[in-house]
Homo-oligomer: A and B are copies of this chain.
Amino acid sequence: MIESLHEECGVFGIYDSEGAAESTFLGLYALQHRGQEGAGIVSTDGDRMYEHKGMGLVAHVFDEDSIARLEGKAAIGHNRYSTTGLPRVANIQPLLVDCRVGKLALAHNGNLVNARELRSQMEATGSIFNTTMDSEVILHLIARSKEETLDSMIVDAVQQLRGAFSVLLLTKDSLIAVRDPQSFRPLCMGVKGDATIITSESCALDIIGAEYVRDIEPGELVIVDERGIRSRKAFEPQQQAKCIFEFIYFSRPDSKVFGENVDKVRRKLGVVLAKNHPVDADIVISVPDSSNTSSLGFAQASGIPFEIGLIRNHYVGRTFIQPSQRLRDGTVRLKFNTVDGVLKGKRVVVVDDSIVRGSTMKKLVAMLRKAGAKEVHLRIASPPVKFPCFYGIDMPSRSELIASSTSVEGIRQYLGVESLEYLTIADLRSVVDDPDHFCNACFSGEYPIPMASGLNKSVFEDSAVA
């Protein structure tokens, strides 16, 4: 999409592999789209644990030296996009602590909705917290558990959590994964020779040449150690609430998540969009690269030719100079340019995956007009985003979501397009096999977990970092 939504994190773990840290590095590199603020890896050689973290892209945080110093045959890693406070290395995962069970490292994807209460309760009885991350609560619950074995301590801990968690843990001699019973966030297992890998998306298996085996099941605890792989049900079966936005936008199209090929689902979004919201036009264009697949689906289903009408500058970095007022209007030009010969005099269908605030799309539409588009028809491969996410997607507040207060016709007028159509929630449900097991709260407001005390993300007051 034109505007960015951010999810907190990709995770990757590997057990019993020479060069565990290098594989973890490559896995994080394949998962870079899930978080660009910082990255970290913790490894173990069975005796000592090793850690390296930093701000920025994976390829910037690690070099050959730092990877070589991450010794051992097991490792976990984490990509982070931060949503609270200023960026600080202390908030980069994996978190590595000492506690009753020895050294313990954690990497977490998802958001907990009762982190605030848990944290208050534990502070009241003597715990101290070093970060502003909800993830730290999980470590405290494990450390405080009265159970006797590590896996029982973990089960005891996670049963107190409410919200989304795809978690990897590393001890000196084991890799452990646990997933919330509603399985909001993806987590899958792969294998390469003797090595077991557990990670967010299958594209991270592909990059190291590992084979996809299966998803970690909802509520499942998996322990990988020298005795092999053991599984344990940490929760009773529940209705799942898999994040449909993983298909719409987050996951890479070459990944398999929630057991389905992202590409296949995303293609169907475009097909349904074309069938249910047709338009008479000359060409279909995408907003590269996120809506390429759904645009192609739209073009094939509608018979309108797919064209490349926008070029994306792939050198856009994270810390880009903010152009001065004089050039401000052109900010969207830093990221995209029009291919004028393609657009001139044409009735153009633009397919995008979603609209959040709408302001950037408005500028893009103006660019298309300037390039000579005769008509601009916008087709959105998801329903209007009206509600914030509490399970791991960093969305603007409700008041900033244009669709929460504006009708589709109002948005159409604001954007200045000839027509605007979204998918309906029913359309969306039609593209997945088990629609009742997906969360669509950001479209419907029907949250699968009742809110106890508001969004924890905004609750922990961060200390600023000067």
Contact = CB atoms under 8 A, between A and B. Distances in A.
Given A308-B263, A466-B52, A337 B89 contact: no
A384 B308 CA distance: 26
Nearest to A344: B261
Interface stretch (A137-145, A223-231, A404-412, A447-455): A137-145
A10 to B, nearest CB: 12
B50 A465 contact: yes
A84 interface: no
A334 B29 contact: yes
Interface in A442-466: 460-461, 463-466
A61 to B, nearest CB: 11
Contact of A126 (B100, B119, B321, B464): B100
A29 B254 contact: no
A261 B340 contact: yes
B464 A51 contact: yes
B123 A128 contact: no
Number of this chain's copies in the complex: 4
A300 interface: yes
Contact of A99 (B129, B143, B305): B129
A401 to B, nearest CB: 27
Given A57-B315, A99-B127, A327-B19, A321 B62 contact: yes
Contacts of A342: 263
Nearest to A463: B49
A384 to B, nearest CB: 26
A263 to B, nearest CB: 5
A250 to B, nearest CB: 14
A308 B144 CA distance: 50
Interface of A: 18-19, 21-23, 25-26, 29-30, 32-33, 36, 41-43, 48-52, 57-60, 62-71, 88-90, 96-100, 103-104, 119, 123-130, 139-140, 143-145, 203, 206-209, 252-254, 261, 263-264, 288-289, 292-293, 296, 300, 305-308, 311-317, 319-324, 326-327, 329-330, 333-334, 337-342, 460-461, 463-466
18 contacts: A22-B321, A29-B315, A30-B337, A33-B315, A41-B466, A52-B465, A52-B466, A59-B316, A59-B317, A96-B463, A98-B129, A99-B127, A126-B143, A209-B330, A261-B341, A263-B339, A289-B312, A293-B308
Given A32-B315, A96-B463, A99-B128, 7 more contacts: A19-B324, A48-B461, A51-B465, A97-B129, A104-B128, A209-B327, A296-B306
